[in-house]
Amino acid sequence: MSEAVGDHGSCKEWETDEMMELQDQEPRRARKGARCLPAFCQGKAVTVLYVLSAFCFVLLMVLIVTSLQKITAVWEALEEARLRNEKIHAGSWQNLSHVQHVVDKQMSDEFTAFRSQLLNISKEVANMRAKMTQCEVGCGKALSDRLRILEGRPVSWPAPEELAELRREQRTMQALLSGVLAEMHNVSEVICTRCPAGWQQFLRTCYYFSTAKKAWMDAKLFCISHSSHLAIINSEQENKFLANQVMDTQVFWLGLTDMHKEGEWQWVDSSPLSLRLWNSGEPNNVGQHGEDCATLYSSGRWNDAVCSNAESWICERSC
């Protein structure tokens, strides 16, 4: 009986141990069950990676779009500034051209009026000169007649002082007339009124602007045959006057060449080049045959060209 009780107690103890062992194993199974399978974990990681990639792509696109918008705004601002600058430049150039046109017209009108006044003065001087010449002849003759009359009177005639006074008066009159005639001659020399028909005057020089076209050497011979020479420019004022007579599409030969020695430009009267009004980049002597003769543009700038080209030309002579 005691053995039965002992066996029963051992059995209970075994069951208790069995239950405790099972209770200890359940958390371990639960912990083992919490671990996911390898394929499932890999798929989950890929999904997370895709989500992160999509988020980064969206963020990158947002940044790109924002940057493009900023670049577009900056570009539009620059383009607007460029257009505004072009408008300002065009307006300034138009205003400058208008002012220059007004000034040129005013100067041309003033020059025409001044020339008309000079012509009138020249005519008056010529008339005065003729009158003074007549006066010189008439007054001199009258004084001479008076002197002859006085000298022909008897010695007893009490007029030696009168004779001396008349002689002094005659010398004074002749000196005054000679001085006036010299001054008139100087004025006539300053005032130029003798340019040939078809020639234009600037100061005391006459210029011929051809309508035909010739090579430089033929143009030079033409000027020589007309008692002149190809134009020689000595001042910016003279150059401006010549350029104002040239149309935009025209080109005129000048009396300037370096055909005698490349690079040493000189005028047709052999004088060296002192005033230089070359166009930008000129003279450049381009081409197979070189460019050894100078031309004048309407802008007032010079260019070297092939001497055999057919161009208009400008002759120059004193009036």
Cα torsion angle, 231, 234, 239, 241, sign: negative
CATH number for the segment(s) 200-318:
3.10.100.10
Q: For residues 245 and 209, is the Cβ–Cβ distance under 8 A?
A: yes
Helix (H) or strand (E) holding 196: none
Q: Which amino acid is at 149?
A: I
- Please state, in angstroms and as integers, the Cα–Cα distance from residue 44 to each residue in 41, 52, 53, 55, 293, following that order: 5, 12, 14, 17, 88
What is the pLDDT of the chain when averaged over all its residues? 77
Tell me what pLDDT residue 246 has: 93
Helix (H) or strand (E) holding 204: none
Helix (H) or strand (E) holding 35: none
Least confident of 68-77, 215-224, 295-304: 68-77
| 158-200 per-position pLDDT tens digit | 456 666 776 777 677 767 766 666 665 555 555 555 788 999 9
Average pLDDT over residues 239-251: 93
d(CA 14, CA 159): 194
pLDDT band at 295 (very low <50, low <70, confident <90, very high): very high
Helix (H, G, I), strand (E, B) or coil at 254: strand
> When comparing pLDDT for 22 and 1, which is higher?
22
Specify which residues 313 forms β-bridges with: 253
Tell me what pLDDT residue 263 has: 92
- Please state, in angstroms and as integers, the Cα–Cα distance from residue 212 to each residue in 222, 247, 303, 304, following that order: 11, 14, 20, 20
d(CA 112, CA 166): 48
Tell me what pLDDT residue 262 has: 93
b/e for 74-107, b at 16 or more Cβ within 10 A? eeeeeeeeeeeeeeeeeeeeeeeeeeeeeeeeee
For the chain, the structural domain boundaries read: 111-190, 200-318
- Stated length of the chain: 319
Tokens of 60: 């990158």
| 253-271 per-position pLDDT tens digit | 999 999 999 999 999 999 9
Strand 312-318 relative to strand 252-257: parallel, antiparallel, unpaired?
A: parallel
Q: Does the pLDDT at position 3 exceed 50?
A: no
Highest mean pLDDT (candidates 15-24, 50-59, 130-139, 187-196): 50-59
Q: For residues 206 and 196, is the Cβ–Cβ distance under 8 A?
A: yes
> When comparing pLDDT for 34 and 70, which is higher?
70
The pTM assigned to this predicted structure is 0.46
Least confident of 149-158, 159-168, 237-246, 299-308: 149-158
Q: At residue 253, what are phi and psi to the nearest 5 degrees? A: -70, 140
Q: For residues 302 and 278, is the Cβ–Cβ distance under 8 A?
A: yes
Tell me what pLDDT residue 142 has: 61
Q: For residues 234 and 202, is the Cβ–Cβ distance under 8 A?
A: no
Cβ neighbours around 233 below 10 Å, total = 26
d(CA 246, CA 252): 8
pLDDT band at 28 (very low <50, low <70, confident <90, very high): low
Tokens of 128: 């005065």
